[in-house]
Amino acid sequence: MAHHGHTLPVEEPGTLEQNSGQLGTLALYAGVAGLLLAVIIAAISGNWARLQFSYLHNFTFALSISLGALFFVLIQHITRAGWSAVVRRLAEILTNGFVPLVVMFLPILFLVISGSDTLFLWNNPEVASHDPLLNHKQIYLNPTWFTVRAVAYFAFWILCARFYLMTSARQDKTGDIQLSLKMERYAAVSLILFALSLTFGAIDWIMSLDPRWFSTIIGVYYFANANVAFYATLAIMVFMANRNGVLNQTVNAEHRHDIGKLLFGFNCFWAYIAFSQYLLYWYANIPEETMWYMRRQENGWEIISMLLIVGHFVIPFLGLMSRTVKRNPVQLTSWAVFLLVMCWIDLYWLIIPEVSPETPAFGLIDIFSLLGVVGLFTFGLVKLSADFNLLAVKDPRLQESLAFHNI
């Protein structure tokens, strides 16, 4: 709104690698060490199944951040959003995570192709042919088709993410407005493909862990969670950057306020979706649907379920509501960390009951898997972002974003 008539100064903040210090190296060590320790624990306890589920859990967690980032980039372009120009590059950098993620997906893919049914019961031909329900689903849930789909999802995500990052980086040099318009044009079709790939990805990698269960809302559920995880990550990134003296002149309370609003809004959206799913199952009371919730309502899992209601919704709903909290860097970042943990627990609650219905206790194997997957994910982000500024310095909407004011 308030164009002050003069151009605000823009700093050149440098690249992620320049500003992250030893983060990349540390992340690499942490990632390798984490995965090694997780494997050692699995070997000692002999619980290889738990390792696979923990790995998948943390894989979906890291993936959700990159998916949320990609969605953010697409939405900013298709709506011609002005306020977000100062933080859009951070999201674009986060979408680089698809590259380390596709590497980390290979073990899962290998297990499925080699015929392991530990993660996916539908991959057991014996069970699948005798269970009428699985028999029907075999046309969709089989190793070949699973592989084809996974390749398609990652191909789209990586291509789309690279396109937006590279085009935006090219604009850093030329300042060509046509590039913004081009990105806007591609955003519509990308959003459709994004919705399809995310939904079917969630169906393949989360829902089909219990192949007899079905939920028509699982894609939206994962999408909501991905958005919360992304906005939390974005708030933390902004905070870290500012603490390191980067982006101090560009990202201010107004932008934090908007990130906080979106974090708050998508967290309410998550609660809405989670409750919608629960209410319908609860009302219809159909055994093949309710068994999924039964598993999460006994043997201590009910504590995690209640924790999600209170911790993922009620507490942050009240805590993040205030305008003051959203504009305060420390308070917003605290809530972002809190919600990121809740997103992790939410995915834990989605995935781990399928391997450990008897107890919700999480152990070192979960911590080390988290360290391993997120470590390698971060290492990939830093390495791949060597050439990119932390700010889209010649974005045509940058001035609008700098002058942005919440009413």
Which residues are near other proteins by CB under 8 A? 1-2, 275, 278-279, 282-283, 285, 405, 407
Which CB atom, from 43 or from 279, has the smaller least distance to other proteins? 279
Are residues 343 and 67 in contact, defined by beta-carbon separation less than 8 angstroms? Answer: no
| DSSP state for residue 2 in the 8-state scheme | -
| Alpha carbon distance 70, 74 (integer Å) | 6
Q: How far is the CB of 270 from other proteins (least distance, A)?
A: 15
The least CB distance from residue 279 to other proteins, in Å, is: 5
Q: Closest CB to other proteins among 3 and 173?
A: 3
Which candidate, 385, 404, 397, places its Cα nearest to that of 13? 385
- Rounded to whole angstroms, the Cα distance separating 87 from 402 reads 11
For other proteins, give the closer residue by CB, 110 or 282.
282
Based on CB atoms, which residue is closest to other proteins, 139 or 318? Answer: 318
Specify burial of residue 46 (Cβ count, 10 A radius: 0-12, 13-18, 19+).
Answer: exposed
Instruction: Say which residue the tokens 């164009």 belong to.
Output: 3
- The H or E element that residue 50 is part of is helix 48-78
- Which of 107, 319 has the CB closer to other proteins? 319
- CB count within 10 Å of CB 165 equals 22
**Which pair of structure tokens corresponds to residue 402?**
């700098």
Q: 134-147 burial, b if ≥16 CB within 10 A, otherwise e? A: beebeeebebeebe
Q: One-letter amino acid identity for 320? A: L
CB nearer to other proteins: pick between 186 and 281: 281
What's the number of CA atoms in the CB half-sphere (13 Å) around residue 228? 33
Closer residue to other proteins (CB): 302 or 358: 302
Closest CA to 370 of 55, 66, 36, 104: 55
CB 27 within 8 A of CB 379: yes
Instruction: Considering the complex, state which of residue 130 and residue 323 has its C-beta at the smaller distance from other proteins.
Output: 323
Minimum CB separation of residue 1 from other proteins in Å reads: 6
**Cβ of residue 309: shortest distance to other proteins, in angstroms?**
11
Instruction: Give the shortest CB-350-to-other proteins separation in angstroms.
Output: 19
CB of 405 to other proteins, least distance (A): 4
Q: Which is nearer to other proteins, 293 or 362 (CB)?
A: 293
64 near 347, Cβ under 8 Å? yes
User: Is the alpha carbon torsion for 111, 113, 117, 119 positive or negative?
Assistant: positive
- Write the burial class of residue 374 (CB in 10 Å: 0-12 exposed, 13-18 middle, 19+ buried): buried
User: Which of 13/82 has CB closer to other proteins?
Assistant: 82
CB of 2 to other proteins, least distance (A): 5
Cα distances (angstroms) measured from residue 112 to each of 106, 109, 150, 306: 10, 5, 12, 33
Count CB neighbours of 148 within 10 A.
10
Compute the least distance from the CB of residue 271 to other proteins, in Å.
Answer: 10
Cβ 224 to other proteins, closest distance in Å? 16
Among residues 365, 345, 295, the alpha carbon closest in space to that of 53 is found at: 365
Between 44 and 407, whose beta carbon lies closer to other proteins? 407
Contact (CB, 8 A) for 333 and 239: yes
